[in-house]
Structure 1
Amino acid sequence: MKQLLLLLAATGSISLAYAQAPTTPTYHVAVGVLGSYRTAGVLGEARLTPHFGLKLAGVLTSDGTVPDEYSTAGIGQVAYYLPCHLTWLEPVVGLGGIYTSYHWQQYGQSGTVRDLNVGGSFGANVVFHPRLRTGVQVFVANGFRGAYSDNAMRISGRRLLALPALTLEVLL
């Protein structure tokens, strides 16, 4: 009986140690799509180390309130994957740059306002297959506030922008 208890205790401790061991990613590149109620985009990632990656995204945003007005953005970030004991969960934070281009059309005039600024992100991915993951990311940026003057749009100030998005990625 004593040997059986020792065997069970040893088996339990081995499986507990295995469940808590940090996992290393089995991919080097990820490509996918992102979207929300008014945003669509593509994204890619190069995993540099088990905890660091380089993320790139291209996004198109339109709320549909003003015809022919839309925004495009290019996002580049260094991502840090927080250590997690759950092998299917990847919490992640990122910091980098964002380039935005806002196309406006008002009063028979049109133009484009461009901006380069800093941004970040946070969220979590769920790896539901060795080659597929889905997640929720919130991109945060120091965006601009636009105002119309002299039949043109100009940057009139700054505001914090938060863009939540659902992601679906293929891990290569």
Structure 2
Amino acid sequence: MKPYLLPALALLPYLTHAQAPTTTAPAPDSYRAAVGVLGSYRTAGLLGEVRATRRLGLKLAAVRQSDGTVAGEYSAAGIGQLTYFLPSRLPWLEPTVGLGGIYSAYHWQQRGGHGTLQDLNVGGSFGANVRFHRRLRTGLLVFGANGFRAGYDEAAGTMRKTGRRLLVLPALTLEVLL
């Protein structure tokens, strides 16, 4: 046999599309809960999750947001969502969608007055987590909520809700899986 034929014979199964038996990657370790942080350019918060089943869980977040233009003015929110973990062929990728409630509080401080507007409404999220370690993951979540608009009422000297608007909050996450 010619010596240059040996490498060609070794590659023959790949050249003829015959595949050797493959093994699937082991499923990632399951976890019952996760805790972590989330943030964006104007937002910081804490994030928690409890898994009910392999595909369903409850996600909780506490968020504070400030644009820094008015000292003492900020928004805070508490978010609770039923979360569905979408199937993925990649064991390290976890796409998610969620739907639930959001409590928000807007602390305003203008023209010598201050106060807090509160609201309870519905919100949702979608995103994806990447598990880069057995017990660590990072991801991108986009929260959406039916928020409110606020305007200053000169006659009353206070801030009032003036309408509704879609609020979108993208956030990066880092979580520890328990």
TM-score, with normalisation over the residues of structure 2? 0.86
- Cα distance in 2 for partners of 1:130, 1:27 equals 10
Shift of 1:67: 1.2
Matches within 5 A, 1:110-129: 110-129=114-133
What corresponds to 1:108 in structure 2? 112
Shift of 1:151: 1.3
Task: Give the aligned length.
Answer: 162
Report if the CA contact (8 A) 1:106-1:151 is conserved: no
The RMSD of aligned alpha carbons is 1.8
What corresponds to 2:81 in structure 1? 77
Shift of 1:9: 3.5
Report if the CA contact (8 A) 1:90-1:124 is conserved: yes
Q: Which has the higher helix share?
A: 1
Question: CA offsets, 1:40-86, max 9 Å, x none?
Answer: 00010001111111000000000011111001100000000000000
Question: CA offsets, 1:126-169, max 9 Å, x none?
Answer: 00001000000000000000010021111100000000000000
Question: CA offsets, 1:16-51, max 9 Å, x none?
Answer: xx25x8x46511000000000000000100011111
What corresponds to 2:168 in structure 1? 162
Report if the CA contact (8 A) 1:57-1:76 is conserved: yes
- Cα distance in 1 for partners of 2:135, 2:30 equals 9
Shift of 1:123: 0.4
Shift of 1:115: 0.1
- Cα distance in 2 for partners of 1:55, 1:163 equals 15
- Cα distance in 1 for partners of 2:33, 2:86 equals 18
What corresponds to 2:101 in structure 1? 97
Of all paired residues, the percent bearing the same amino acid is: 66
Structure 2: tracts of 5 or more residues without a match: 1-8
Distance 1:25 1:140, change over 3 A: farther
